């Protein structure tokens, strides 16, 4: 399993880096390739999410949820917004997306029924999937349009991967004390500590004078590394709790050694959120 995990990561890394880098030398220019990649990952992940919900006996509005999830992601692309702005104001886009969230809740009692009556849970799970995957993952696309946006995206992803990797190997070698045995038996406090060290060290690399440098000080890098560790772990545990509720081990089998796409982005959706708002509120 470990060999499969490493091989999948090595094969996928060049595609990810190329998509983030884009075709422009300007790090603030949005990359349509990256938007497309995030959109594909979002569609595959929300499809896995709805499939798991189906296992619980609730039928979400799968096709509808996939479409709205896609809109939540692509409409965070700065280039796309600039193109459609003259004919379709951004305020209307936000309004339509909000309406898109409300409709499943309104139509669920009409189109979804159980033996005991109408089912509101179908709409609720549909909205949950859209927000969890579409809205949260869309922050990565929006981040790509920042000044030094390319570097911010690299940071958000690589800091998350550094935490996951360091936690994984530290937990395997030194893990003794279980963190949440009823939710995720493999996670240990020793692994979490190793993950924090990995994320902080990676963060400090982005303060050095390199093409990937960010406009942050060393103490901001440490804070960001800690935030990425906390929110990444929270995202991982939340998805584990969801899978435990459904009664499955992995969200899918699409990525050898990793499980499904949802298993791979469970931390990223939370860390991209915290990095995005830290950059907006503190740095930019």
Domain range annotation of the chain = 1-29+148-284, 31-145
Distances (CA, A) of 127 to 15, 21, 63, 68, 133: 30, 32, 12, 9, 10
Give residue-wise pLDDT tens across range 209-234: 998 999 999 999 999 999 999 999 99
Six token digits for residue 183: 């939710």
> 16-73 pLDDT, tens per residue?
777 888 756 666 666 788 999 999 999 999 999 999 998 888 889 999 999 999 999 9
**Per-residue pLDDT tens over the stretch 153-165:** 999 999 999 999 9
Q: Is the pLDDT of residue 91 over 70?
A: yes
Residue with tokens 């093409």: 211
Average pLDDT score, the chain: 86
Q: Strand (E) positions, the chain?
A: 113-114, 117-118, 178-180, 184-188
85: enclosing H helix or E strand: none
Q: How far from 144 is each of 21, 29, 38, 165, CA to CA, in Å?
A: 10, 7, 11, 24
Give φ, ψ of 255 to 5 degrees: -115, 105
pTM of the model: 0.89
**Measured CA distances, 27 to 22, 144, 146, 221, 239 (Å):** 9, 8, 8, 20, 32
Alpha carbons 264 and 105: distance in angstroms, whole number: 28
Q: How many residues does the chain have?
A: 284
Where is pLDDT greater, at 3 or 200? 200
């Amino acid at each position: 399993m470990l060999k499969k995990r490493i091989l999948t990561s090595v094969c996928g890394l060049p595609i990810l880096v190329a998509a983030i880098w884009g075709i422009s030398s300007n790090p603030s220019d949005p990359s349509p390739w990256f938007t497309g990649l995030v959109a594909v990952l979002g569609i595959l992940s929300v499809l896995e999410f709805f499939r798991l919900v189906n296992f619980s006996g609730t039928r979400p509005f799968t096709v509808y949820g996939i479409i709205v999830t896609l809109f939540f992601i692509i409409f965070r692309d700065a280039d796309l917004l600039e193109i459609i702005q003259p004919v379709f104001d951004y305020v209307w886009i936000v309004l339509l997306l909000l309406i898109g969230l409300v409709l499943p809740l309104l139509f669920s009692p009409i189109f979804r029924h159980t033996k005991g009556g109408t089912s509101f849970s179908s709409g609720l799970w549909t909205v949950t999937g859209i927000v969890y995957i579409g809205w949260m993952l869309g922050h990565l696309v929006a981040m790509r349009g920042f000044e030094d946006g390319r570097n911010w995206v690299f940071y958000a992803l690589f800091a998350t991967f550094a935490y996951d990797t360091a936690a994984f190997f530290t937990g395997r070698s030194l893990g003794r004390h279980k963190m949440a045995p009823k939710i995720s038996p493999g996670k240990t406090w020793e692994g979490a500590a190793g993950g924090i060290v990995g994320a902080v060290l990676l963060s400090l690399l982005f303060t050095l004078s390199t093409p990937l440098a960010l406009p942050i000080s060393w103490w901001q890098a440490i804070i960001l590394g800690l935030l990425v560790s906390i929110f990444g772990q929270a995202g991982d545990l939340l998805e584990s709790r969801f899978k435990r509720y459904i009664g499955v081990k992995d969200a899918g089998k699409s990525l050898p050694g990793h499980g499904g796409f949802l298993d791979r982005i469970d931390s990223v959706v939370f860390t991209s959120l915290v990095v995005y708002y830290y950059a907006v509120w503190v740095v930019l």
